[in-house]
Amino acid sequence: MAGALSLAASGGWFGNDGSWSTFLVHVGSPPQTFNVLPATQAANIWLPIADECMRLQNGSASCGNSRGVTPFQQRPSPGFQANMSSTWKTIGLYELGMGRIHEINGNGLQGFDSVELNDFTMEGQAITAYASPGFWIGQMGLSPLPLNFSETISSPSLMSALKDEGHIPSLSYGYQAGASYRKTRIPASLVLGGYDLSRSSEPLTVDINSDLSKALTVGLQDIIVTDSLNGTLSMVDNERILAPIDSSIPDMWLPKSVCDRFESAFGLEYHERSGSQYAIGRAFLQEAYIGVDFEAGTFNVSAAKWDDVKPEIVTISAHDALYSTPQLAGMAFHELPAKHGDSELWEAEMIPELGSNECAHELHPDCVR
């Protein structure tokens, strides 16, 4: 049985919304190399498409570099170039489902190509080459849900492919986003098929939500701030906040009343923007460690540890319960084809197919980040 796969951080720090520790993936033949961020809400590899840097910055060499794209064939690369890969197989142009809930517009060229991680290569993996500055850095999906593009075209998730091909033992992972502001920069930690015990402390264990579009939902009881204009304060009053941990975005999406308190406590002006659900973004995972075991149906959240200790990788073995769990076996990401003539498209759906029709927690739409 395979052991847990601990991916080394690239050493790079990228982002137009913060400084984020990334991991390397190599896609296509010959391989094009990208710095990507782990995404708890995605199921496959997402890469910025080359065309968008041409549109945004007239092909400036700095555009691709700022998005974590490494040079290709000894020249700066603006993004993923499907026409330069001999193993690329196009599926079609589809709307970006992951961006819908946060009003991030865009579309993606979907296809299959080879993916190299560490020292192995997997053929025929689903790739989303997207056009949306809302996702500035590419992403590596950690959701186990399969992707359905049509009645005849589907694909397993990256996590499922890793397990099926024997590279990891289970549909589980441990992740901490790293922190550029601690010590001399603490890099991110990502373990697939297990977790890093040295990064986690006393955990809180939570059941995975039956709606996997909000799989890692937690109840946010309070936020305590210190050194504000009025000292130490509580930011949550009587609000009932249920929010998924979503590392595909950097921000915290919270009720407007909570944001008003932050504004008053620190003399801030927030960027007001409607959204369809609250979310706890990647910033939270700078100070927290998350361990997820889809087959057991639970995840753990703990305060991150910053001791100068060596990684202590723990393997999580496969569970027989996976295929008897309706919410895992009966759902998929259904990708919607892009509408003809639309330049910025963003709608996609999470649809139960075979499982129960249980409703997930419905969250009040009046939220800002």
Q: What is the pTM of this model?
A: 0.84
| 69 and 171 assigned to the same domain | yes
C-alpha gyration radius of the chain: 20
Q: What angle do CA 52, 54, 55 make, to 5 degrees?
A: 65
Q: What is the pLDDT of residue 365?
A: 38
d(CA 192, CA 281): 20
Tokens representing residue 16 in the block: 């137009």
Q: What is the pLDDT of residues 348-367, one digit of tens each?
A: 232 222 222 232 223 333 44
Tokens representing residue 134 in the block: 């809302």
Domain count, the chain: 2
Asked if omega into 31 is within 30° of 0 (cis), the reply is no
| 33 and 162 assigned to the same domain | yes
Q: What is the pLDDT of residue 253?
A: 82
| 175 and 200 assigned to the same domain | no
| 50 and 152 assigned to the same domain | yes
Which residues does residue 224 pair with via DSSP β-bridges, in sequence order?
234
| 201 and 277 assigned to the same domain | yes
Pick from 100, 107, 134: which is nearest to 251 by CA?
134
Q: What are phi and psi of 74, to 5 degrees?
A: 65, 25
Assigned domain for 130 exists:
yes
Q: What is the pLDDT of residue 349?
A: 31
Q: How far is CA 90 from CA 80, 149, 214, 334, in A?
A: 13, 12, 29, 17
| 213 and 249 assigned to the same domain | yes
Which residues does residue 175 pair with via DSSP β-bridges, in sequence order?
190, 290
| 123 and 201 assigned to the same domain | no
Q: CATH number of the domain that 247 lies in?
A: 2.40.70.10
Assigned domain for 304 exists:
yes
d(CA 27, CA 109): 14
Count CB neighbours of 26 within 10 A. 17
Q: What is the pLDDT of residues 271-286, one digit of tens each?
A: 665 555 788 899 999 9
| 212 and 146 assigned to the same domain | no
Work out the percent of the chain whose per-residue pLDDT is above 70.
81
Count CB neighbours of 364 within 10 A. 14
Q: What is the pLDDT of residues 134-190, one digit of tens each?
A: 889 999 999 999 998 888 999 999 999 999 999 999 999 999 999 999 888 999 999
Q: What is the pLDDT of residues 317-349, one digit of tens each?
A: 986 443 434 345 445 555 556 544 443 323 323
| 66 and 159 assigned to the same domain | yes
Assigned domain for 306 exists:
yes
Q: What is the pLDDT of residue 183?
A: 83
| 15 and 149 assigned to the same domain | yes
| Residue 353: partners with Cβ closer than 8 Å, 6 or more residues away | 330, 331, 332
Q: What is the pLDDT of residue 48?
A: 95
Q: What is the pLDDT of residue 334?
A: 56
d(CA 171, CA 164): 10
| 12 and 63 assigned to the same domain | yes
Pick from 245, 225, 235: which is nearest to 299 by CA?
245
Tell me what the pLDDT averaged over the chain comes to: 83
User: Which residue range(s) make up the domain with 264?
Assistant: 195-315
Q: What is the pLDDT of residues 199-247, one digit of tens each?
A: 999 999 999 998 887 899 998 888 888 888 989 999 888 888 888 999 9
Q: What is the pLDDT of residue 238?
A: 84
Cβ-in-10-Å burial (0-12, 13-18, 19+) of 318 comes to middle
Q: What is the pLDDT of residue 310?
A: 87
